Homo-oligomer: A and B are copies of this chain.
Amino acid sequence: MDDAHDVSVTIEGTSMDDESSTDNAFSAETGRASVHPPKQASAEQKVKKGKETTLDAEALLLAATLVLDAKVGRNLDYILGEKYVKSYLWYNSAYLRWALYFCIAFNLSLAIFEEPAVPNAAIPYWGTMIMEFFCLSYFTFRLLHAFYFQYSKVFIKDAKNIVVLMVILLTILDMICYIIWINVAPDTHPVRWSRPLRPLFIINFPDGKQIRRAFRNIRRTVPDIMNVLFLFLLSILLFGLLALKLFYKREITYPSGQPYFRNYFDCIWDLYVLVTTANNPDVMMPAYDKSNWFALFFVIYLIICLYIFMSIVLATIYNNYKKNLKNEIKAAVFLKRQRLAKAFDLLKVKRGNEEVLTYSTWKQLVKFILPGKSDVHTDLLMKILDQDNSNVLNKKSFLNLSDLLHVKLTEVKDRQTLLEKYFPSVYNHYVSERFKLIVRHRFFRYFFDLLILLNAVFIAIDYDLADWFFLSIFTFEILCKLYVLGGKEFLLRFWNIFDVFVIGAAFIATIVEKALGSTNKELNTLDILLVLRVMRLIKIFGSIKRFKVILLTLVNIGPSIITYGGVIFVFYYFFAIIGMEIFAGYISYYGYTVQDSSKLFCGNLNLNNTAFYHEHYCNNNFNDILKAMVVMFELTVVNQWHVITSGFVAVTSQVARLYFFAFHICCVVIVLNIFTAFILEAFILEYTLQTVPRLESVVESKIKELGLGIGMKPKTHSIQGPSGDKIDLMEGEVLPDMDELDGNKEDEENSDDENLPDLSKEKGLKFHLRKNNRKKVEVLLQQMFQGELGDEEEGPKSFSDVENYQRSRKLTLEELT
């Protein structure tokens, strides 16, 4: 039996996230054999032996793991044997994952301590090497762990694993080289050339799914942009030729006396910079001063190369982004379904003509998935999945399981505050109830909004005396809310956390300042906290509906923005390390009033008379990773990047332009446009979905039908459970709706944000159905696609098939525009 399992086949559909196995025939080869005959047979044998006895524990474990995979969206291959699955679960445990995150971050942060180090943070090379070796060891362990529970064929075919392995080996090789080099010839500026590879760990471990997805997006988009970029660069070359012919005989010079369009290479460079607008109108002025007509050349050039070509680059990227998004959504839905279907196959029994999952199996499965939940809870979940009240689950119902697991279900005790639990008599006293009513009232909120406004005005006019008053009244507000909502509920709201942070920090800082009696000019953290308090004004605007849409969208797309932050960080790190190797030490900041001749002109006489020195850019250097990162950011913002470039060209050679050009193409033209495309799409989706009739999954409609959501009144007070027992949902009588008492009916649509509905008044088990606009866009899109699919359709198995998976439909105007 166990042997049979070990030869069993890998999970299908894994290719979604895994590029390497996507594009080769391997996944197709192994993927289809997934419904494992001996396994299936064994399940059915069990049933025949003793009807509805305890199921094979192994099958349960496997099925439960598959269900959890579907819920979380994991997509790693593993061997379907008990010990491998257990190993896989351990691999996914929070400890090991966070250890990995820590090691990756630590490994990256070594650049702070390595030569050229951040001032006062330098550690000898052997010190950082030991730390790096420690990180590499953990990476190797992680890799071996994955190797253990995967088929070696699958493991090796996965490009991610190969990349990680290669980077580890290269790093070790580099370390050895460096040790030899530095001991043999320490004066020759030894290079740690493997350091730019470090960010690859972020992308290539299976845990960095989001970032990898963004990178996949970039990779898929690049070929399409290449065509546009090629034409774009070609037109720059042509315009360069034109400019050369136009200007080279005229002996024009720049105000600084530099030659103006005298050789082809400079022409192209100046025109490329012009397309980034960084040297406009300076590059035009000398010719324009000569003759007004020359302005026409630059105007035409900018219209074609900047306004048209750059828009087309954005359009191409945006178009690809949308296409990819669509495919990712489809792939995710199919992956989920395939895992659930596999789990179902492991547990199913034959009942007449149908293959179903029995109530007892369900009960055991839930024990695995949601340990420690009551029977009522289990029964209720089944009740909701079981669309036709047959007391068994068919495949179609079972495929909704992961949606159901995403809906939060709480019991009364979970919703009570600590005070209510331990001092119910005090907390539920008449006075306390009155007080709670007041705090929950919207005038309470209005009052404090008004105070925030007042505070802002006082800060603006620099009137400090009222500070103590505001500080204490805002503290009082926080305490009130904490009392009424309880800690858990309180911390769920972003603005509450923000308030606690700002007010708390201000409180402490004020006390410290008073205690020390310092009026130190440098210490104005207090001022900052003061102003952060003003940021709470945004909270007020958040309650006005027209702004709310925008702010909500911002909050919703926040996490994804951080993903793109990660992508940009990868590029920054890569370029920063390379920049440090090339440019470190050439330019330093010594202030601009030094007399010491070795420190004149940022310590480099070549910078004399350059715009770089003139504009006081000496601090824009590559002398440590932090400075380099700031330079990267400045280059991303683009303005004056040619001046920064010119500084480094002055201290090295013209070839340095290549580095800055490469950075601009990679980070600004490609990555930044992808970022814009992402925001564009995310914003438009959020915006559109808010105007669309509420989308609900099968699970949600069922919950609504049974009236089991928070704030809903069930139609029946008890529901017949699958086991035949009655599930008591309500205890006591239905209280009048709190919203009605508050008179809050009119602004119902923003009640979940601004008002404080009293959850503890909700009796029994209740599902938390989120408002439409609070759902993640990705989840919504998945649901939408699920709605389009057939009930049991599991879709194509590999990503490239998903890309071509078109549902035949007539093209419509709505779809296109």
Is A325 in contact with B528, judged by CB distance below 8 angstroms?
no
Q: Are B315 and A813 in contact (CB under 8 A)?
A: no
Are A289 and B228 also in contact (CB < 8 A) when A238-B535, A675-B307, A688-B816 are?
no
Residue on B nearest A542 in the bound complex, by CB: B231
A residues 246-305 in Cβ contact with B at 8 Å: 246, 249-250, 255, 264, 277-282, 284-286, 288-289, 292, 295, 299, 302
Assembly CA distance A264 to B285 (angstroms): 33
Interface code A516-548, partner B: CB below 8 Å = 1, 0 otherwise? 000001001001101110110110010000110
Stretch at the interface among A3-11, A394-402, A678-686: A678-686
Knowing A326-B817, A460-B264, A524-B249, the reply to whether A308 touches B554 (Cβ < 8 A) is: yes
A556 to B811, CA, bound (A): 21
Which of these binds chain B: A25-33, A428-436, A632-640? A632-640
Q: Which of B245, B546, B807, B816 contacts A527 (CB 8 A)?
A: B245
Within 8 A of B (CB), among A672-723: 672, 675-676, 679-681, 683-685, 687-689, 692, 695
Q: How far is the CA of A330 from the CA of B325 in the complex (A)?
A: 28
**Closest CB in chain B relative to A264 CB, distance in Å:** 7
Query: Which of A306, A534, A591, A811: most chain B CB closer than 10 A?
Result: A811
> Which residues of the other chain, B, contact A264 by a CB distance below 8 angstroms?
460
Q: Which one, A35-43, A77-85, A342-350, A784-792, is touching chain B?
A: A784-792
Q: Is A189 an interface residue (CB 8 A)?
A: no
Cross-chain contact A528 with B675 (CB below 8 angstroms): no
Contact of A460 among B241, B255, B307, B532 (CB under 8 A): B241
Q: CA of A788 to CA of B289 in the docked complex: distance in angstroms?
A: 58
Partner of A246, one of B524, B589, B787: B524
> Nearest residue in B to A815 (C-beta to C-beta)?
B815
| CB atoms of B787 and A230 under 8 A apart | no
Q: For the complex, give the distance between the alpha carbons of A726 and B277 in Å.
A: 66
User: Within the complex, which residue of B249, B312, B785 is in contact with A521, where a contact is CB–CB below 8 Å?
Assistant: B249
**Is A242 part of the contact surface with B, judged by Cβ < 8 Å?**
yes
A289 partner residues in chain B, CB cutoff 8 A? 589, 591, 616, 619
Instruction: Tell me which of A194-202, A316-324, A483-491 binds B.
Output: A316-324
Contact B812 A788 (CB under 8 A): yes
A639 touches B277 (CB 8 A): yes
In the complex, whether A651 has a CB less than 8 A from a CB of chain B is no
A471-495 interface mask toward B, CB cutoff 8 Å, 1 = contact, 0 = none?
0000000000000000000000000
Closest partner residue, chain B, to A780 (CB atom): B816
Q: Evaluate contact between A817 and B528: CB separation under 8 angstroms.
A: no
CB distance from A121 to the nearest CB of B (A): 13
A122 interfacial contact with B, CB 8 Å = no
**A617 interface residue, CB < 8 Å from B?**
yes
Taking a contact as CB atoms closer than 8 A, the residue among B312, B627, B692, B788 that contacts A679 in the complex is B312
In the complex, the answer to whether B692 meets A547 with C-beta atoms within 8 Å is: no
CB within 8 Å of B: which of A201-259? Answer: 227-228, 230-231, 234-235, 238, 241-242, 245-246, 249-250, 255
Residue A162 at the chain B interface, CB threshold 8 Å: no
Chain A interface size, as a band, is 35 or more
A314 within 8 A of B: yes
Q: Is A561 an interface residue (CB 8 A)?
A: yes
A314 in complex: contacting residue of B231, B295, B680, CB < 8 Å: B680
A679–B311 CB distance below 8 A: yes
Give every chain B residue within 8 A of A330 (Cβ-Cβ).
813
Residue of B nearest to A616 (CB): B255
Q: Produce 1/0 per residue, A123-141, CB < 8 A to B.
A: 0000000000000000000
Q: Does residue A810 face the partner (Cβ distance < 8 Å to B)? A: yes
Decide if A281 touches B554 in the complex (CB within 8 Å): no
Confirm or deny: A351 has a beta carbon within 8 angstroms of a beta carbon on chain B: no
Are A318 and B550 touching (Cβ within 8 A)?
no
Interface centre among A550, A681, A816 (most CB of B within 10 A): A816
A531-B241, A561-B308, A640-B280 known; A817+B325 contact, CB < 8 A: yes
The answer to whether A354 has its CB under 8 Å from any CB of chain B is: no
Cβ-based interface call for A733 (8 A): no
A55 sits at the interface (CB 8 A): no
A685: which of B592, B640, B787, B816 is its contact (CB, 8 Å)?
Answer: B816
A571 CB, nearest partner CB in chain B, Å? 15
A514 contacts partner chain B, Cβ-Cβ < 8 Å: no
Q: Contact: A639 with B281, CB < 8 Å?
A: yes
Cα-based distance from A208 to B314 in the complex (angstroms) = 30
Taking a contact as CB atoms under 8 Å apart, the answer to whether B255 and A524 are in contact is no
29 contacts between A and B (CB under 8 A): A228-B550, A231-B547, A238-B538, A242-B532, A245-B528, A246-B528, A255-B592, A255-B614, A255-B616, A281-B620, A282-B615, A285-B617, A288-B630, A289-B619, A292-B627, A306-B637, A307-B679, A312-B683, A316-B687, A318-B684, A319-B683, A319-B688, A325-B817, A326-B813, A329-B817, A689-B816, A784-B812, A787-B810, A807-B814
Q: Sorted from nearest, which 3 A-B pairs have the closest CB atoms?
A: A315-B683, A311-B679, A245-B527
Contacts A238-B538, A285-B617, A814-B815 known; 9 new A-B pairs at CB < 8 A: A238-B531, A241-B460, A241-B531, A245-B530, A264-B460, A280-B634, A307-B679, A788-B813, A809-B812
